[in-house]
C-alpha cells in the first residue's frame, strides 16, 4: 500500500509505503529525506508523532491515510502509550531518527 500526499513544504509529495509482502516500511518527507522502519506499527507511530494536517494540502487524503495507519496501532497499549507520552515513541525507535 502506498500513499502520495501533496505537502505544503515541497513541490515533491511526501510518500508512505507499507509493503507487508516484502517487509518494506518507509516514507519520504518534505525535505526528500527518508525514514525506514522495521514494522508498520513503527511507521504509523512516526507519522502520528511527526506529521499534522497543517503540513498537507490534501487534507482528505491525509485523513484517509491516518485512518488506515490507525489500524496498525490496534492494541490498546499502543494507543495509550502515544497519548501518555505526548506522542513520543519508545527510546529504541527514536535513536537515529531525524525529526525534521
The residue extents of the domains of the chain are 2-85
pLDDT of residue 20: 95
Candidate from 4-8, 25-29, 94-98 with smallest mean pLDDT = 94-98
Question: pLDDT-based confidence at 74, cuts 50/70/90?
Answer: confident
pLDDT tens digits for range 75-88: 544 444 444 444 43
pLDDT of residue 92: 34
CA 84 to chain centre: 18
Strand partners, 25: 18, 37
Residue 75: burial class (beta carbons within 10 Å; 0-12, 13-18, 19+): exposed
Q: Which residues, other chains included, contact 6 with Cβ-Cβ below 8 Å and sequence gap of 6+?
A: 13, 56, 57, 58, 61
Given a cut of 80, whether residue 97 has pLDDT beyond it is no
Q: Are 37 and 94 in contact (CB under 8 A)?
A: no
User: pTM for the full model?
Assistant: 0.72
Amino acid at each position: 500500500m502506498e500513499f502520495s500526499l501533496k505537502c505544503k513544504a515541497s513541490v515533491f509529495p511526501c510518500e508512505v509505503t507499507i509493503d507487508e509482502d516484502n517487509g518494506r516500511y518507509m516514507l519520504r518527507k518534505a525535505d526528500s529525506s527518508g525514514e525506514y522502519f522495521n514494522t508498520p506499527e513503527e511507521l504509523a507511530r512516526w507519522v502520528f508523532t511527526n506529521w499534522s494536517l497543517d503540513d498537507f494540502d490534501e487534507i482528505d487524503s491525509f485523513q484517509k491515510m491516518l485512518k488506515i495507519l490507525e489500524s496498525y496501532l490496534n492494541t490498546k497499549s499502543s494507543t495509550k502509550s502515544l497519548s501518555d507520552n505526548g506522542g513520543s515513541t519508545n527510546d529504541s525507535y527514536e535513536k537515529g531518527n531525524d525529526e525534521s
